[in-house]
Structure 1
Amino acid sequence: MHMPSTTDLPEIDSPYTLGAEQIERFRADGFIKLKEVFSAEALEAYGEAITELTLANDPNKGVPMEQRDTYSKAFIQVMNLWRMDERAKALTFSKRLARIAAELLGVSGVRLWHDQALYKEPGGGFTPWHADQYYWPMATMNSVTAWIPLQAVPMDMGPLAFGRGSHLIPAGREIGISDESEKQIAEHIEKHRLEQVYEPFDLGEVSFHYGFTLHRAGPNTTDRARKVHTIIYMEADQRLIEPRNASQQMDWESWTPTSEVGRVMDDPLNPVLYAE
């Protein structure tokens, strides 16, 4: 197989212009969807590598859907693809995306927490309501995930959905993704009368959401996989806190193993991807 050098691949590092109104909307809503962040050519070129790596490292390989729990039915999940392939690294290290993340957060620079592929197979189940930062031992709310579909995502494929303004209420922060989180967070959203935003994604559209923004996805009822690459950013000066749960302890050991509590997470696994 021909493995193109990153110089052969489409440009993904040039700036994407964000308006002040978009930044304000992100901070108020807890998420934003941006059109035409990547071209079809770029998604095809980088998506090929992401798909190869995801299928090769599928932890659910050979396990029938009916034998999986809710989480395993929701998607194939593979972490830190950037360490496996130069094309995956080029996408994860995209300066365009990292700059958007920094501008949305209002910080001078961002580091990588980790990347992950989330492939919802044909017939794959729903993704329960949850907040990502439940898993992350971070001192501040300055974290954001870029959700990058590698194809258009119609409603029946399970696009990401958000609770508008949910990052501003202390709900769903003490429970991991599960059937119980789906139930509890749905009740919180109803109680606080938060709008649930369910929309398809166009080809090239990318969303960004805070670590504490509540989100979920419906099932994939199509005959095609919903292929998504995600990149989690944190402010460049983000500090490690004492883990609040076993999941945060595991993430410390996995994603920033040499970092110390109270200090900036500057482990080699957490490079600065954008700085002013």
Structure 2
Amino acid sequence: MNDPIKLSQLPAMHEDYALTGQEIQSYQENGHIVLRGVASAEEIGIYEPIMSQWVQKLNKQDKPLHERDTYGKAFIQITNLWKKSEEVARFVLARRFAKIAAELMGVEAVRIYHDQALYKEPGGGHTPWHQDQIYWPLDTANTITMWMPLVPISVEVGSMTFASKSQEAGYISKTVISDESHRTLQQFIDAKGYEKVNHGAMAAGDATFHAGWTLHSAPGNPTETMRKVITIIYYADGTQVAEPDSNARKSDLDAWLPGCLPGQPAASHLNPVAYSATHK
């Protein structure tokens, strides 16, 4: 892959994104927030083609949509792009994004758990209700995901819908993303009376941030264009590894925290510190 832009010429995105106290409070109360213009149109215009080339190169999904299960219909999923490409690493490890994550959670420093490219194909299915953190063997509630579209997302395509304040419930169910999770968690949301919030259309470079326990879902893609999204998962530095209590968490421990053991710091070579308030 011959990108004409040299690594040193790529935007570093070290500059701060100014958060207000009201935004931090809103995130901590509701478990989610939308922030506009986290990355500029110019920055996305440079990085999107690079990430999309890697997604195309690494995508192993060859079944047509109608032959896939619900999870497979939801999106093309490529993880840890930052380890495949120095150019993508410059984006994923950007100080700007990590500082936002730390400030929203109210922690001094954050590490990367992993990134994910989530490309919802034309005609792709919905993403069922779920909690991200059922997959993560992390002994903390201080986890957060940045979800950033790399292309404009219309109301018709839809961003994510969040169940506000659902993060307060903590670990609800071990059920992985599936038709069953959608059904049972929808019932849970209705029974608890959580407000369901969708932040509407998003420009490329806008971002939502949500806590690891916040229930969320996304609609299908009825359009003829790919919904291109990059997500980055962060957790508080100093977090310990939790005893994996499911096959999903055992798998994640091996994949994203290699060499780390329960009760030890969650700090493998795949989990660099992306922001620390003590290291400007």
TM-score normalised by structure 2 residue count: 0.95
Give the total of aligned pairs.
Answer: 275
Contact 2:12–2:90 (Cα < 8 Å) also in 1: no
Unaligned runs of 5+ in 1: none
Secondary structure at 1:257 match in 2: coil
Q: Is residue 130–residue 181 contact of structure 1 (8 Å, CA) maintained in 2?
A: yes
Q: Secondary structure at the match of 2:156?
A: helix
* 1:245-256 equivalent positions in 2, closer than 5 A: 245-256=246-257
Question: Does structure 2 conserve the Cα–Cα contact (< 8 Å) formed by 1:171 and 1:185?
Answer: no
What amino acid sits opposite 1:263 in the alignment? Q
* Superposition map of 1:58-73 within 5 A: 58-60=59-61, 62-73=62-73
Once residues 203 and 78 of structure 1 are traced to their aligned partners in structure 2, the CA distance between those partners, rounded to angstroms, is 19
Q: Tell me the residue number matched to 2:34.
A: 33
Task: Tell me which residue corresponds to 1:258.
Answer: 259
What TM-score do you get using the length of structure 1 for normalisation?
Answer: 0.97
Q: Write the mapping of 1:136-175 to structure 2, written as runs, cut at 5 A.
A: 136-170=136-170, 172-175=172-175
Are 2:9 and 1:22 aligned? no
Q: Is the partner of 2:182 in helix, strand or coil?
A: helix
Residue 63 of structure 1: SS of its match in structure 2? coil
How far does residue 57 in structure 1 lie from its aligned partner after superposition? 1.1
In 2, distance between residues paired with 1:29 and 1:88? Answer: 31
Deviation at 1:41, TM superposition (A): 1.0
Q: Deviations over 1:145-199 (max 9, x none)?
A: 0001001111222311111111012464321110000001111111111111122
Moved more, 196-205 or 44-53: 196-205
Does structure 1 retain, via aligned residues, the 8 Å contact 2:240–2:264?
yes
Task: Check if 1:50 corresponds to 2:51.
Answer: yes
- For the pair 1:178 / 2:191, whether they are aligned, the reply is no
* Contact 2:139–2:240 (Cα < 8 Å) also in 1: yes
Aligned residue in 1 for 2:102: 102
Q: Do the aligned residues in 2 keep the contact of 1:158 with 1:226 (CA within 8 Å)?
A: no
Contact 1:134 1:248 in 2 (8 A): yes
Report % sequence identity. 38
Aligned residue runs from structure 1 range 223-242, under 5 A: 223-242=224-243
Question: Which stretch of the first structure deviates more once superposed, 91-100 or 159-168?
Answer: 159-168
Task: Give the whole-Å Cα distance in 2 for the aligned partners of 1:227 and 1:2.
Answer: 20
